């Protein structure tokens, strides 16, 4: 069983001053799965995510990724080990073209330096061509090929979300973590997003989905973990989660509940 | 080195430092609200000093008693500087509020050069001697010498800083200023006239700068069109050292800078005096990148 | 397809015309007087400096207000090792790379401690660094050691270093000028061609850097540091690379400046100089090479042109009297131009195009 797990967290605890943002959280994500991490606002989803991606150091507990301890000291090492992410409040490189945004994603899998840049030996030419080719492929994949030459800040909202995903995929991740990708999307865009997520998972990349949109999470995820007040209160299949008393209480009963999210729960 | 020398340099440092602090407040207030380095602030200080100087000389010549001449000169200089500050904001900064970050910095530099040239046209290139309106006869306290002029500088700066803190924390305008610094959009939605608050901020900062300019001119006994440059540079350094955008930071940074410069003189030749400021700044920022007291804005991860 | 070929043909012709114009420029300027040739040369140096700073500020987004310090390192390296000051006369092919290398080293020294700083903090620290270098140049004419009374004269202080060797190769001294096909070329005119070669190399180098894996990483850093890190970019390393590369270009220009001028002093390397180079980058169009070149040419040449227009004779003709000292009028117009350009073109005169 464990061998098929790509990612596990064991007893992760993180405190800020006196506040315990994460309290002994454990979870595991199977290879190739679409995994959902949900919870009301302030439940600790983002903290968990930032801890895993090296922005904060854990106080206790450990992460394992791809059968090795995940022990990142700087955020840039995370992409190296094979975890790519998108951001809740889209963070594209606005003045760069759509294509260039994706090409930046290839950075971590390529190696030309300053010398190569200036003197451009054949190896660098080949590398550049490969970067451009792969980036074009990814733009096709997310349906943005036509916008390749535009500055990324000129894209529509939904397009920006998809570009972020393409950029993350360019790092050849084993796992892609999507931080509220459906936020601000309309129904049509959300359906397209769902298809994209399923396609990514179908191509063998594990997806970790942090999301508020219950419909999306319930429809697309095979496994869901629920956080509340920094603790994991439930863990299981969508069907299981929907019936879980603690989850229903957290979403309906809590003072910090989210009417919008519960309203959409189907 | 005797302890007397050290004490003497500490006193000198506090006097210079309180002037740095006043100028630094002008930088930090503007930065707090607009995230803009108002490069022209040093020139505003210079204009304040020269305006007051010319007026004071004229009033003295007309037979006005020195204290009244000084007060009148300072008040008018404050008004002139406030007007200059507000005008500069209106013309050179406001249209660029949503422009690329470096654009207003370049206009600020342009304004700085422009104001210097205007000062040359109005006042000339000479070094003017500042009349001794407050006695500079040395007073001995123990082994330390200080003069009335320096005492007045110290007391006035402390009073002004206390006044500013009171204004910012206890008045309606102060609350509006803090709200604008925190989040312009939200402050606007709450019915605060952002443009007015920013103009007021410039006016207050510039008026404080005018007083600081007079202090420097009276302390060194001279003023010239180029005096704003180094003074502005050091005051800005002080503001950054304390934690830019933070009023307390500007005050603490100014005082520390004044102290370091003057105490440092005991150990190193005067030629290197201007280096201290920057060496200390670099050291502080390496160990506390957000400045000694800390920034106004917490960066969100 | 045919239009593409036609376009390329047009481009080629334009390039050729530009090339011929650049080659003939110093000869025409020479007719007006050698002072104009000097202005051309200084303009080329500024183009190189602006290109170097553009890598740091325009491409990588690191605000550097002390850039002139690297120019100074290059100039003083040349001045000290190719003059009678230390009685050393090293050849240019040692000095130019050495100056560039030392400047790059200085860039790393500046870069390492300020890596964590951002935006305006970086600006003020780099500004301080520039001032420190200038003050050291001013005072290193009497460097003492704690254990002895002897002092050493390293930089000759505010007096500067004079009698600096020009560039010479194979026994031919560029400063002396040359007669070729009956055409008399002065030393300054020859320097123009030397500078032109280095400028072209800089343009190509900077362009290639910008359009490379490293260049993209720099731009990503400029646009969003957190997202750049999430893409696996080691921002610390590429920041250092940007500082080092910018400094290298500055150092190279500094060496060339010392060789042409024959004289260096701390006065040439003040804060205003750094500010001016930054203004060239921003006014022209940050991160866009043609824009940056335009900015450099404009700001380097504008004061000289205004000097001519604002000159006393001209004022006499127009107003019948000298209203404003020419120097003041020049700076007034200059500063107003800076303000107006930014107000009406906040992204610069020639920013990078919307579509690539």
For B205-236, the DSSP string reads HHHHHHHHHHHHHHHHTEE-TTHHHHHHHHHH
Distance CA C122, CA B108 (A): 18
Interface probe with C: pick from A111, A114, A151, most Cβ of C within 10 Å: A114
pLDDT of residue B297: 43
Q: pLDDT confidence of B300, banded at 50, 70, 90?
A: very low
pLDDT of residue B103: 86
Distance CA B77, CA B213 (A): 9
Q: Are residues A208 and A247 in the same domain?
A: yes
If you search the block for the tokens 């604002």, which residue do you land on?
Answer: C310
Query: Is residue A87 assigned to a domain?
Result: no
Give the residue from A106, A137, A170 where a domain finishes.
A170
CATH number of the CATH domain containing A14: 3.40.50.300
**pLDDT tens-place string over residues B261-280:** 998 888 877 777 778 778 88
pLDDT of residue C256: 97
Question: What is the interface size between B and C, counted as CB pairs within 8 Å?
Answer: 120
Strands B222-223 and B128-129: antiparallel
pLDDT of residue C312: 67
Query: Is residue A110 assigned to a domain?
Result: yes
pLDDT of residue A262: 38
pTM of the complete model: 0.88
**pLDDT tens-place string over residues A4-49:** 899 999 999 998 877 888 999 999 999 999 999 998 877 888 888 8
C chain contacts of residue A118, beta-carbon cutoff 8 Å:
205, 208-209
Q: pLDDT confidence of C257, banded at 50, 70, 90?
A: very high
3-state SS, residue C241: helix
Q: pLDDT confidence of B209, banded at 50, 70, 90?
A: very high
**pLDDT tens-place string over residues C120-133:** 778 878 888 898 89
Q: Please answer yes or no on whether A107 and C209 come within 8 Å at the CB atom.
A: no
Distance CA A26, CA C109 (A): 44
Q: Are residues A163 and A207 in the same domain?
A: no
| Of residues C34 and A73, more confidently modeled | C34
Distance CA C128, CA C271 (A): 9
**pLDDT tens-place string over residues A50-76:** 888 877 888 899 999 999 998 888 889
pLDDT of residue B296: 53
If you search the block for the tokens 């003072």, which residue do you land on?
Answer: A255
Do residues C329 and C318 touch, judged by C-beta distance below 8 A? no
Query: Is residue A90 assigned to a domain?
Result: no
Interface probe with A: pick from C227, C287, C288, most Cβ of A within 10 Å: C227
Out of A260-264, B138-142, B248-252, C171-175, the most confident range is B248-252
Q: Are residues A184 and A230 in the same domain?
A: yes
Residue A164 domain boundaries = 95-170
Q: Are residues A191 and A236 in the same domain?
A: yes
ipTM score of complex: 0.89
How many residues are there in chain A?
Answer: 266
Counting residues of chain C whose pLDDT is more than 90, the rounded percentage is 57
If you search the block for the tokens 């100014």, which residue do you land on?
Answer: B254
Q: pLDDT confidence of B243, banded at 50, 70, 90?
A: confident
Q: How far is CA C148 from CA B1, B268, C140, C143, C145, in A?
A: 20, 16, 16, 11, 6
- For residue B299, which phi and psi values (nearest 5 degrees)? -75, 135
pLDDT of residue A212: 80
Is some CB atom of chain B closer than 8 A to the CB atom of C352? Answer: no
Q: What is the dihedral of CA C256, C261, C267, C268, to 10 degrees?
A: -40
Strands B144-147 and B138-141: antiparallel
Is some CB atom of chain C closer than 8 A to the CB atom of A92? Answer: yes
Average pLDDT over residues C282-301: 92
Average pLDDT over residues B4-14: 92
Do residues C207 and C199 touch, judged by C-beta distance below 8 A? no
Distance CA A48, CA A76 (A): 17
pLDDT of residue B11: 94
Name the average pLDDT for chain C: 89
End-to-end CA distance of chain B: 49
Q: Are residues A198 and A224 in the same domain?
A: yes
Name the token pair of B287. 């160990």
- Sorted by sequence, the CB contacts under 8 Å of residue B121 that are 6+ apart come out as C324, C328
- Among residues B226, B219, B207, the alpha carbon closest in space to that of B262 is found at B219
C chain contacts of residue A111, beta-carbon cutoff 8 Å:
213
C chain contacts of residue A84, beta-carbon cutoff 8 Å:
230
Q: How many structural domains compose chain A?
A: 2
Please list the alpha-helical segments (H only) found in C54-154: 68-81, 92-114, 119-139
Q: Are residues A151 and A114 in the same domain?
A: yes
Query: Is residue A89 assigned to a domain?
Result: no
Q: Are residues A254 and A196 in the same domain?
A: yes
CATH of C34-284, one of 3.30.1560, 1.10.10, 1.10.3470, 1.20.1530: 1.10.3470
Which chains would you list as touching C if contact means 3+ CB atom pairs under 8 Å? A, B
pLDDT of residue C131: 85
Distance CA B82, CA C352 (A): 39
Out of A168-177, B225-234, C345-354, the most confident range is A168-177
Least confident range from B51-55, B83-87, B111-115, C109-113: namely C109-113
For A164-208, the DSSP string reads HHHHHHTT--SEEEEESTTTT--HHHHHHHHHHHHHHHHTT-EEE
Average pLDDT over residues A87-104: 95
- Residue A264 reports pLDDT greater than 60: no
Out of A155-159, A163-167, A257-261, C155-159, the most confident range is A163-167
For A117-159, the DSSP string reads HHH--HHHHHHHHHHHHHHHHHHHHHT-GGGTTBBGGGS-HHH
Q: Top-level CATH class of B17-126+148-287?
A: mainly alpha
- Among residues B17, B35, B11, the alpha carbon closest in space to that of B251 is found at B17
Do residues A93 and C230 touch, judged by C-beta distance below 8 A? no
Name the average pLDDT for chain B: 90
Do residues C286 and C61 touch, judged by C-beta distance below 8 A? no
pLDDT of residue C147: 67
Q: Which of A53, A76, A85 sits opposite C234 (nearest CB)?
A: A76
Least confident range from A68-77, B59-68, B137-146, C325-334: namely C325-334
| In chain C, where the domains are located | 1-32, 34-284
pLDDT of residue B114: 94
Instruction: Using alpha carbons only, give the angle B68, B70, B73 rounded to the nearest 5 degrees.
Output: 105
**pLDDT tens-place string over residues B18-58:** 999 999 999 999 998 988 889 899 999 999 999 999 999 99
pLDDT of residue C169: 80
Q: pLDDT confidence of C2, banded at 50, 70, 90?
A: low
**pLDDT tens-place string over residues C130-165:** 988 998 899 888 887 666 677 888 899 999 999 999
pLDDT of residue B1: 56
Q: Are residues A74 and A189 in the same domain?
A: yes
Q: Are residues A141 and A189 in the same domain?
A: no
Cα B249 to the center of its chain, rounded Å:
13
């Amino acid at each position: 069983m464990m061998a098929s797990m790509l990612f596990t967290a064991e007893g992760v605890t993180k405190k800020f001053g006196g506040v315990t943002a994460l309290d002994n959280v454990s979870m595991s994500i199977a290879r190739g799965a679409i995994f959902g991490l949900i919870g009301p606002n302030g439940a600790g989803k983002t903290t968990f995510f930032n801890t895993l991606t090296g922005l904060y150091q854990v106080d206790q507990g450990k992460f394992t990724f791809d059968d090795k301890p995940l022990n990142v000291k700087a955020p840039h090492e995370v992409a190296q080990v094979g975890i790519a992410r998108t951001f809740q409040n889209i963070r594209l490189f606005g003045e760069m073209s759509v294509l260039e945004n994706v090409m930046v994603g290839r950075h971590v899998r390529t190696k030309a330096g300053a010398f190569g840049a200036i003197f451009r030996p054949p190896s660098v030419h080949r590398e550049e061509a490969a970067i451009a080719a792969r980036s074009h492929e990814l733009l096709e994949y997310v349906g943005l090929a036509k916008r390749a030459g535009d500055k990324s800040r000129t894209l529509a909202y939904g397009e920006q979300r998809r570009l972020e995903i393409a950029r993350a995929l360019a790092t050849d991740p084993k796992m892609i973590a999507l931080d509220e990708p459906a936020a601000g999307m309309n129904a049509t865009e959300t359906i397209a997003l769902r298809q994209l997520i399923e396609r990514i998972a179908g191509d063998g990349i594990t997806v970790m989905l942090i999301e508020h949109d219950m419909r999306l999470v319930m429809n697309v995820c095979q496994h869901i973990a629920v956080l509340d007040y920094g603790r994991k209160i439930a863990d299981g299949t969508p069907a299981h989660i929907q019936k879980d008393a603690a989850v229903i209480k957290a979403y309906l009963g809590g003072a910090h509940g989210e009417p919008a999210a519960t309203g959409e729960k189907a | 080195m005797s302890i007397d020398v050290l004490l003497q340099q500490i006193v000198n440092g506090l006097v210079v430092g309180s002037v740095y602090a006043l100028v630094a407040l002008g930088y930090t207030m503007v930065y707090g609200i607009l995230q803009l380095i108002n490069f022209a602030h040093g020139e505003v200080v210079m204009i304040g000093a020269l305006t007051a100087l010319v007026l004071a000389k004229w009033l003295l010549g007309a037979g006005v008693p020195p204290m009244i001449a000084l007060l009148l000169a300072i008040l008018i200089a404050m008004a002139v500087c406030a007007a200059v500050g507000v005008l500069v904001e209106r013309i050179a900064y406001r249209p660029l509020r949503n422009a690329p970050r470096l654009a207003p910095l370049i206009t600020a530099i342009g304004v700085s050069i422009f104001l210097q040239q205007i000062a040359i046209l109005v006042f000339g290139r000479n070094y003017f001697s500042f009349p001794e309106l407050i006695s500079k006869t040395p007073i001995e306290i123990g082994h330390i010498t200080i003069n009335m002029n320096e005492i007045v500088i110290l007391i006035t700066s402390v009073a002004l800083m206390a006044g500013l803190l009171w204004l910012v924390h206890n008045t309606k305008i102060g609350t509006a200023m803090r709200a604008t610094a925190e989040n312009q959009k939200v402050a606007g939605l709450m019915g605060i006239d952002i443009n007015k608050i920013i103009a007021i901020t410039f006016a207050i900062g510039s008026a404080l700068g005018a007083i600081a300019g007079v202090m420097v001119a009276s302390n060194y006994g001279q003023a010239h069109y180029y005096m704003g440059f180094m003074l502005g540079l050091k005051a800005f350094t002080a503001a950054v050292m304390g934690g830019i955008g933070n009023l307390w930071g500007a005050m603490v940074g100014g005082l520390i800078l004044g102290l370091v410069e003057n105490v440092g003189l005991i150990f190193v030749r005067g030629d290197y005096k201007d280096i201290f400021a920057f060496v200390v700044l670099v050291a502080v920022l390496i160990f506390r990148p957000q400045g000694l007291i800390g920034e106004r804005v917490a960066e969100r991860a | 397809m045919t239009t593409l070929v036609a376009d390329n043909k047009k481009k080629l012709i334009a390039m050729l015309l530009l090339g011929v114009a650049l080659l003939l420029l110093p000869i025409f300027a020479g007719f007006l007087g050698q002072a104009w040739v000097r202005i051309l040369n200084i303009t080329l140096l500024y183009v190189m400096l602006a290109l170097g700073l553009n890598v740091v500020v325009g491409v990588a987004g690191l605000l550097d207000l002390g850039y002139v310090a690297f120019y100074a390192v290059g100039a003083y390296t040349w001045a000290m090792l190719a003059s009678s000051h230390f009685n050393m006369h090293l050849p240019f092919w040692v000095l130019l790379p050495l100056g560039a290398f030392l400047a790059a080293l200085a860039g790393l020294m500046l870069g390492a401690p300020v890596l964590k700083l951002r935006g305006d903090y970086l600006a003020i620290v780099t500004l301080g660094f520039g001032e420190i270098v200038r003050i050291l140049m001013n005072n290193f004419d009497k460097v003492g050691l704690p254990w002895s009374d002897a002092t050493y004269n390293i930089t000759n202080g505010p007096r500067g270093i004079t009698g600096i060797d020009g560039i010479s190769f194979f026994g031919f001294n560029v400063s002396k000028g040359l007669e070729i096909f009956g055409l008399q070329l002065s030393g300054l005119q020859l320097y123009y061609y030397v500078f032109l070669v280095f400028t072209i190399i800089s343009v190509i180098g900077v362009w290639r850097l910008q359009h490379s894996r490293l260049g993209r990483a720099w731009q990503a850093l400029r646009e969003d540091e957190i997202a750049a890190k999430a893409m696996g970019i080691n921002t610390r390393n590429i920041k250092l690379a940007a500082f080092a590369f910018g400094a290298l270009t500055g150092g190279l220009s500094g060496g060339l400046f010392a060789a042409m001028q024959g004289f260096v002093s701390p006065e040439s390397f003040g804060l205003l100089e750094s500010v001016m180079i930054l203004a060239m980058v921003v006014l022209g169009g940050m991160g866009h090479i043609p824009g940056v070149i335009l900015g450099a040419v404009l700001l380097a040449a504008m004061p000289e042109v205004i000097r001519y227009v604002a000159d006393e004779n001209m004022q006499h003709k127009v107003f019948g009297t000298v209203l404003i000292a020419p120097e003041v009028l020049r700076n007034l117009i200059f500063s107003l131009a800076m303000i107006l350009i930014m107000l009406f073109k906040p992204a610069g005169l020639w920013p990078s195009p919307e579509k690539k």
